[in-house]
Structure 1
Amino acid sequence: MALGLFRVCLVVVTAIINHPLLFPRENATVPENEEEIIRQMQAHQEKLQLEQLRLEEEVARLAAEREALERVAEEGQQQNESRAAWDLWSTLCMILFLVIEVWRQDHQDGPSPECLEEDELPGLDGAPLRGLTLPNRATLDHFYERCIRGATADAARTREFVEGFVDDLLEALRSLCSRASDMEVEDFIGVDSMYENWQVNKPLRCDLFVPFMPPEPYHFHPELWCSCRSVPLDRQGYGQIKVVRADEDTLGCICGKTKLGEDMLCLLHGKNNVMRPGGEAADLLCAGDSPYLDTMRVMKWFQTALTKAWHRIAHKYEFDLAFGQLDTPGSLKIKFRSGKFMPFNLIPVIQCDDSDLYFVSHLPGEPFGETPASSTDWLLSFAVYERHFLRMTAKALPEGACHLSCLQIASFLLSKQSRLTGPSGLGNYHLKTALLHLLLARRPADWKAGHLDARLHEMLCFLEKSLLEKKLHHFFIGNRKVPEAMGLPEAVRRAEPLNLFRPFVLQRSLYRKTVDSFYEMLKNAPVLISEYSLHIPSDHASLPQKAVVL
């Protein structure tokens, strides 16, 4: 109790002592003007409010910047995700396109020979050719009998007459040549349409290969370029022919495969035994600066030799012999006194080793071709193999097969179109190549005589597809589907495929003209066949051409 009263008293005493009125402090001052204090307090408050606003604005700015950074980061992440998805999609598309291209390359020669259904025809869906309506089979048969079979009825007599005359001409040529210094001319070989039984256009023309060999001790060493991967595309299908001595065959001597020192001498090949340009090489029709055979020198030699041979036997015949085209070696015409003429081609060729391949300076009757870069470039011809393949295939086809009829009708339409609009980049050799591909793809039973209209339509479809793709592969080069019984050299079978339509890729104007001419031919085909089925116009005979009398 006493402790509680003491505490109360202590509190009262403390309050009295600290009261400012009873005991004023020495240093304490009372503000004289309360308004000044209030004004200062308001100014301080406004200052604090401004500071607060500044801080709030700063916080808002920082928040906005942070949101913008977050938004940019989010958009970048989305773009990265979309870019990754796009890259993945592009990669998948590229892989898909590559797979499709590989599949197309593997099947570009058409379906397997075992079966080729109607839905697998080489034409293009929706293409203009799908709407082509050819005349019925009866009209086609009548057209063929009246305009084609009748026009080629005397083909056998023409071949017999030309062959007899050429035998005599070549024999006269041999009698004028020296075996020790001149080229040795061998027997001729019949090739192309007249010997494959599908010649249509008149006058009938025979194409004859005349192989020749150099005098001993020289021989030809052909160099195939279709088997070399380093050869440019425009050089495929060509080759060169080197003239070498029999004792200078570098294939059998080590000096041709290694470098000998200055003091080393090959016992087989002396330094003075090399055939130098301008010496014996010039007499052997080689180019001036190389040991390779020159096409221009061969052409001049052959034309000169034929002229001398004809002058030797001209007294035996009652007709004249003339050159048909001066820039084509061996293009000849027999001119009868009645005004008629009979053209034929004697083509100097070089056999490639022991095969049926031959090097030629040109392909007779073709509308275009890539000009060789050098006069020592020779074109490789498969004409003999083509004739063998057609004969071998005919043995397996039904009697009266329509394969040659298709080729004859297509060749007939092409020749008439060429007279209307001029020659184009499409020639008979392309038509024959298309037929060879289809013969390899179709079953023998599909070539019955009653299937003429279907096979003709299919052949035109194949040509249209090839033109639109600018791709028509050579039938033999790089085609491993060709039967091994043909005996093709392995280097040719394993070579890269040769595109016969490659000039269309480089020559756009020629390609456009060819496509327009082809579709114009398709448009005119029904009317042309119907008209020629009723009568044969007077322009069916060939127009005369200029000639140079020998």
Structure 2
Amino acid sequence: MDAIGFLFLLLQSLMQYLLPVGEIEDEETRLRMDLFAKQQEEERLLLEQEMEQLTLKQSIVEQSLQLLVIAGLLVLLLVLWLMGCKRSLRREQPEEDDVGNDLEDRIQENIGRTLVERIQWPVQDLQAGCEWTTNLMNNYMIYFGHVMTNSFYPGLQRAIGVGSAFEGWSPREQDVLYKVLIPMTPPQGHSFHLELDSAEQRHVRNFRVRVQLECTCTKEQQAESMLCFLHHPEEELRSNQDPSLLDTLCTDSYLDVQKTARWFYQLVRAIWPALPQSHNWHLKLLPSTRSCQFQVTSGRKIFRIEMFFGVRRGDSDVFVSSQPREAHTQSTAWPETYAVAELKFFQYIARQASPDSLHLRCLQFFSRLLLGIGFSTYTMKTIVMHLLNTIPVSQWSRRHFLRRLIDISESLRLSLEVKRLNHFIVGNQRLPEEISLPQDVQMAEPPNLFHRLAMDPAAHSQGMGEYLDLQRRLVAVLKPDD
């Protein structure tokens, strides 16, 4: 509380002290005094509230000033780079040379080259790792097909590499995680029905996969010696046929993620000795309840692989998968995932980009800059995807490198200020035509990835502070040499 508040309380105490101290027998006088005391208490509380609001406003102003200082530093960085490079290039050229657009292009090229050279990039060969993982998964799929023939476990389709490594970048220095999604189809005599879990209105949409038995009383299926789960006696089914999927991987008629994960682990362990990779590589299974994680090593080479499994929504690029999107996900909950659609977006950009495009370097640079700061790599990935969808891919070359880094930083700042960052896939009407979305996903209101900041002022204040930390790191890295 400041001096004004202190003087107010002191004056109030003196006034109360100067009141008559003798016995007060007049009831009306006593009531007036009580009323006066209540008014004084209300005024004191009101003053305290005003002081708290004033303190909060001062904090906001100070934070805004810090943001303006950081933004000014970034602009100053760009000016210093331009001035230094222009002086350097002019020394190399005769004064009579045309120093118009060509000079500006050379300045930007010099800035980009210098920045790329001074940034310590991780030594990674993601393409080789993705190819090795894909080859391993193809071999596994061959044996999965043999093992699953005529069984009543889900059918397994060809694995799809997803996530940062298959998109061409990785936030990790060395321990890269290669993620693959394995689409599942219902076995014969069964069908899958996706049901949206509307019991809770969550930021993440969860589905349940209801398994339903189908009649197989046809001549073709009878010729395969398959009994109908619906119309044959239960005793005959137990004696002559394997249990249905409902009796193995389901809980209350719904496909159970944890049971499915345990089944995957058994398959991976049992099939590994038959694979050609087993002769030179060592398999180590890693704990997980909603996926199958394992590590393969050969000398100093190490690959960490995580196998998720899911069910495709129609013929789209959207799946419901075992990968959890929030803590304490129920075992029968299958969150909606857009990993395949995001992969196809990066593949589309790669086909449009020139070989020297640095859009993935920009993403990798910020993902490493975020280490120890609260923003997720998915936040930066979302921002970069939005920018890639609005800025022509031709403007992500080396001579645009500094400008794009500043664009990414500014996009994050603006998103924090308005407390909103739209999901890139859901509700996006400007995606490439080759990305197929279900109608409800395409027309939905984009989820706000910063919804927690909008609901919690303390979280928003913390986010702004983390942004300032990020900017200090960015300025330190980009600061031109004296």
CA contact (8 A) 2:152 2:244 kept: no
| Aligned-partner Cα distance in 2 for 1:237–1:221 | 16
| Aligned-partner Cα distance in 2 for 1:196–1:430 | 16
Equivalent of 1:223, from 190, 195, 198?
A: 195
Aligned to 1:240: 208
CA contact (8 A) 2:204 2:336 kept: no
CA contact (8 A) 2:208 2:333 kept: yes
Pairing 1:206–2:167 present: no
After TM superposition, give the deviation of residue 189 of structure 1 in Å: 0.9
Pairing 1:388–2:352 present: no
Larger relative contact order (CA 8 Å, sep ≥ 6): 1
CA contact (8 A) 1:162 1:206 kept: yes
Q: Which amino acid aligns with 1:405?
A: R
CA contact (8 A) 2:258 2:290 kept: no
Gap regions ≥5 residues in structure 1: 1-122, 249-268, 274-278, 364-368, 534-550
CA contact (8 A) 2:272 2:278 kept: no
Provide the identity percentage. 24
After TM superposition, give the deviation of residue 476 of structure 1 in Å: 1.6
Aligned to 1:302: 264
| Aligned-partner Cα distance in 2 for 1:223–1:179 | 27
CA contact (8 A) 1:182 1:215 kept: yes
Give me the CA root mean square deviation: 3.7
Alignment TM-score, normalising by the size of structure 2 = 0.65
After TM superposition, give the deviation of residue 126 of structure 1 in Å: 5.3
CA contact (8 A) 1:214 1:284 kept: no
Pairing 1:347–2:347 present: no
| Aligned-partner Cα distance in 2 for 1:144–1:151 | 14
| Aligned-partner Cα distance in 2 for 1:355–1:445 | 29
CA contact (8 A) 2:204 2:335 kept: no
Q: Deviations over 1:199-227 (max 9, x none)?
A: 352233322111122310212222356xx
State the SS of the aligned residue for 1:370.
coil
Aligned to 2:298: 336
CA contact (8 A) 1:234 1:370 kept: no
CA contact (8 A) 1:333 1:343 kept: yes
Q: Which amino acid aligns with 1:283?
A: D
Pairing 1:482–2:453 present: no
State the SS of the aligned residue for 1:441.
coil
After TM superposition, give the deviation of residue 449 of structure 1 in Å: 3.0
Q: Which amino acid aligns with 1:294?
A: D
Q: 1:527 to 1:468 in 2, by over 3 A?
A: same
Q: Deviations over 1:510-549 (max 9, x none)?
A: 6665544443232123334679x9xxxxxxxxxxxxxxxx
Aligned to 2:129: 158
Q: 1:272 to 1:176 in 2, by over 3 A?
A: closer
| Aligned-partner Cα distance in 2 for 1:198–1:490 | 30
CA contact (8 A) 2:112 2:400 kept: no
State the SS of the aligned residue for 1:435.
helix
Counterparts of 1:27-46 in structure 2, within 5 Å, are none
Gap regions ≥5 residues in structure 2: 1-63, 82-107, 217-229, 235-242
User: More deviation in 351-360 or 128-137?
Assistant: 128-137
Aligned to 1:285: 249
Pairing 1:362–2:323 present: yes
After TM superposition, give the deviation of residue 434 of structure 1 in Å: 0.9
Pairing 1:130–2:106 present: no
Equivalent of 1:472, from 414, 421, 442?
A: 421
Q: Deviations over 1:451-474 (max 9, x none)?
A: 111111111121222234332211
Structure of higher CA gyration radius = 1
Q: 1:144 to 1:489 in 2, by over 3 A?
A: same
Counterparts of 1:26-65 in structure 2, within 5 Å, are none
Counterparts of 1:131-210 in structure 2, within 5 Å, are 131-133=72-74, 136=81, 138=110, 141-145=113-117, 151-152=123-124, 154-201=125-172, 202-210=174-182
Aligned to 2:360: 404
| Aligned-partner Cα distance in 2 for 1:329–1:206 | 13
State the SS of the aligned residue for 1:362.
coil
Q: Deviations over 1:294-320 (max 9, x none)?
A: 222222222222222224448942332
State the SS of the aligned residue for 2:295.
strand
User: More deviation in 127-136 or 487-496?
Assistant: 127-136
State the SS of the aligned residue for 1:304.
helix
| Aligned-partner Cα distance in 2 for 1:504–1:345 | 31
| Aligned-partner Cα distance in 2 for 1:333–1:179 | 30
State the SS of the aligned residue for 2:207.
strand
Alignment TM-score, normalising by the size of structure 1 = 0.58
State the SS of the aligned residue for 2:430.
coil
Q: Deviations over 1:68-117 (max 9, x none)?
A: xxxxxxxxxxxxxxxxxxxxxxxxxxxxxxxxxxxxxxxxxxxxxxxxxx
Aligned to 1:521: 470
CA contact (8 A) 2:211 2:246 kept: no
CA contact (8 A) 1:302 1:348 kept: no
Count of equivalent residues: 366
Aligned to 1:439: 388
